[in-house]
Amino acid sequence: MNVTIYDVAREAGVSIAAVSQVINGKGKISERRRREIVRVMERLNYRPSVIATALAGKRTYTIGLLVPDISNPFFAEIARSVEEQGHRLGYSLVICCTDNKEDRVERYLSLFRSKSVDGIVIGTGIGTDDKETIAPLAHGRIPIVTIARELPGCDGGTVVVDDFAGGRMAAGHLTALGHRRMAVLAESPKLSSSRERIRGFREGLGEAGVELPDAAVVTCGGQPPVAEGKRRASELLRSGDRPTAIFCCNDLLAIGTLQAAKEAGLSVPGDVSVVGFDNTILASVTDPPLTTVAQPIERMGQLAVDLLIRRLANETDEPPRTVLQPELVVRESTAAPAPSPI
């Protein structure tokens, strides 16, 4: 096996208690002894077992991250940021992908409990009603922070962007350009973020005196998002009075829309404008580059981890809800609508 605290103790001619003390930097030991022990630890290339340490009552220094799909650039960037801040603070990341399957959420939450993660960051939606799935949480006493979305009944804290404001920005941009007939490609209505974006978009439209009929809000439930977005956008673009602009609740759906437009022989933004959400790397490389509502992804990850760590350090009386401001990034997928042929 690996070298243990016993090996170090024996080699240094001291008790394991002494070694433990130098590991944790507490207790009383003479400088002489401590240096000797450190030397031995290095010579033996000793690394304390996190497993044993955790069993003995300490943390595992592990945080669990739940996202729908790590290959989705938005979540990849979230993960990156969480990973980075986590490591900065001494924690490593266990990542699980739920694929938006409800049973997986439950399974992974349960898994996190059995693996004794110190805290959980949730970036995935939860379908069923709160109590059922959030149960393991209250059960296990593991602090949970949600990121980029809110979960009903999850009180651990949350870091989100102001989705409502984001939707409103998109609407403002589009109406200012002169659009009147618009549609939105939405994610699951189960997602708080998606609902808020639509609500904000509708509000923004209203401020310009434009209506958004319910029928113009299309839910893209299927997987994968790009293909589903393309499919739904195609339907929209084929319809009688096709919209002059489409607001997509994330960049992936916007890309699908771009593809659909291309396939239909429509030019973007000439024939139809497209606005995305997230501002992932994808938005900057598409054809045309995507106008999108940017989330401060890196900042969100940092804040989520900070909040979580403070939570499990019991510095509790935090404002549990951090709301960051989104920002409209105008690229080349939006323009004034073509003059309508009278």
Rg of the chain's alpha carbons, rounded to an integer? 25
Question: Distances in Å between the alpha carbon of 190 and those of 195, 205, 326?
Answer: 8, 23, 21
Identity of the amino acid at 170:
A
Please, what sign has the CA dihedral across residues 194, 198, 200, 204?
A: positive
Least distance in angstroms from the C-beta of 234 to a second copy: 17
Phi and psi at residue 65, to the nearest 5° = -120, 125
Tell me which residues touch DNA (CB under 7 A). 1-2, 4-6, 13-18, 20-21, 23-24, 26-30, 33, 48-49, 51-53, 55-58
DSSP symbols for 92-156: EEEEEE-TT-HHHHHHHHHHHHHTT-SEEEE-S---S-HHHHHHHHHHHT--EEEESS--TT--S
80 binds, among a second copy, DNA, none (CB under 5 to 8 A by kind): a second copy
Segment 198 to 257, residues that bind a second copy, using CB under 8 A: 226, 255
Least distance in angstroms from the C-beta of 125 to a second copy: 18
Q: Of 20 and 188, which CB lies nearer to DNA in the complex structure? A: 20
73 binds, among a second copy, DNA, none (CB under 5 to 8 A by kind): a second copy
Q: Decide if residue 62 touches a second copy (CB under 8 A).
A: yes
Q: Decide if residue 267 touches a second copy (CB under 8 A).
A: no
Q: Which is it for strands 245-248 and 273-278: parallel, antiparallel or unpaired? A: parallel
Least distance in angstroms from the C-beta of 297 to a second copy: 9
Residue from the set 4, 116, 128, 188 that interacts with a second copy by CB under 8 A: 116
Q: Decide if residue 285 touches a second copy (CB under 8 A).
A: yes
Q: Decide if residue 71 touches a second copy (CB under 8 A).
A: yes
State how far the Cα of 139 lies from the Cα of 65, in Å rounded to an integer.
18
Q: Decide if residue 88 touches a second copy (CB under 8 A).
A: no
Residue from the set 158, 175, 286, 302 that interacts with a second copy by CB under 8 A: 286
Q: Decide if residue 58 touches a second copy (CB under 8 A).
A: no
Q: Of 31 and 214, which CB lies nearer to DNA in the complex structure? A: 31
**Residue 234 φ/ψ region, left for φ over 0, alpha for ψ in the -120 to 50 degree band, beta for the rest:** alpha
70 binds, among a second copy, DNA, none (CB under 5 to 8 A by kind): a second copy
Structure tokens at 255: 């890309």
Query: Which residue shows structure tokens 């490609």?
Result: 185
314 binds, among DNA, a second copy, none (CB under 5 to 8 A by kind): none
Q: Of 55 and 281, which CB lies nearer to DNA in the complex structure? A: 55
292: three-class secondary structure by DSSP: strand
